[in-house]
Amino acid sequence: MAIDYTKRRSTPSGGGDAGGGGVSLSKVTLTKSAPSVSLTKRGGTGGQLRVNLQWSSGGEQQSRGLFKRRSSAIDLDLACLWEFTDGSKGVVQALGNAFQAPYQGQPIIRLDGDDRSGSNAAGENMFIDLSRVDEIRRILVFAFIYEGTPNWASADGVVTLYPAAGPEIEVRLDESDPGSPTCAIAMLENSGGELTVHREVRYIRGGQADLDRAYGWGMRWAAGSK
C-alpha cells in the first residue's frame, strides 16, 4: 500500500505495479533546452545509483541538506513512483513505511529514511540498483511538501543523481508554483535496454494521486498519513 498525503493524506489499494544536457567532466546539468541524458551511453548503468535532494535559502548553500527545518516548519519528502517490466508498480516513500520496492526480497529501490526534523546533514537519499536495470520500466522521482506552505522558489532545490560510474547528473528546481505541494523532478525510463534520465520539473497541484493521473500510472489510492 502506498500513501497520498492529501485527503489525510492516500494509499493505492491495488494496480498493476538522448540527449546530452549541460556537459562537464564531473557533472551533467539537465535543462529545458537539453533535458535528457542516457545513463547507458555514459556507462552509468550497473552498480548503485544514489539520488540526493538538497536546497539552499537566500543564496546561501545549506550544508545540512534539503530537509533543514525552517521557521515555517516545512516537512519535505523525497519519493518515487515505480513500474517494473513484470507489470508491477507502486510508490517508494516514507508515508505508509513504503521504504523499498519490491516490498519483499532484495530491493531494486530503497529510501534511507525519513528526516522530519531537518537535522540530517545528508538529507534524504534514494538508492536504485542499476545492476537490475532490465527489471526497470520507469521510475518517476518526485518531492512533496507534507507539512507547511509550498515555497519552492526560496528553497532553490536541486536533485543530484550519482551513478556508480560516470559524471553526476543535476536537475535544478528552477521554476516554482506556490500552489503546488508536489514536484515531479526526473523520469528514469528504460527503452530497448537503454536507460535515460529526463528532466521533468513539473509542479502538481495536489498529491500522489494527482501525480499518478498526470503521468498515467494507473494505481488506486486511499487516504493515509504519517
Q: pLDDT value at position 23?
A: 47
Give the three cell numbers for residue 67.
Answer: 530537509
Q: What is the pLDDT of residues 119-146, one digit of tens each?
A: 345 668 999 999 999 999 999 999 987 6
Q: pLDDT value at position 168?
A: 94
Output the furthest CA–CA distance in the chain (Å, rounded): 47
CA angle 70, 169, 73 (to 5 degrees): 10
Q: How far apart are CA 106 and CA 113, in angstroms?
A: 17
Q: pLDDT value at position 76?
A: 72
Question: Which residues in 24-74 belong to E strands, given as ranges?
Answer: 27-30, 36-38, 48-54, 56-57, 60-61
Q: What is the pLDDT of residues 62-118, one digit of tens each?
A: 434 444 444 454 567 899 999 999 999 999 998 888 899 998 889 999 998 654 434
6-10, 118-122, 219-223: the lowest-pLDDT one:
6-10
Q: How far is CA 37 from CA 114, 167, 222, in A?
A: 29, 11, 35
Q: What is the pLDDT of residues 37-48, one digit of tens each?
A: 999 988 888 899
Q: What is the pLDDT of residues 18-57, one digit of tens each?
A: 444 544 568 999 999 999 999 998 888 889 999 998 865 3
Domains and CATH numbers, the chain: 22-215 (2.60.60.30)
Q: What is the pLDDT of residues 161-185, one digit of tens each?
A: 999 988 999 999 888 888 899 999 9
Q: pLDDT value at position 125?
A: 94
1-15, 157-171, 182-196: the lowest-pLDDT one:
1-15
Give the global pTM: 0.81
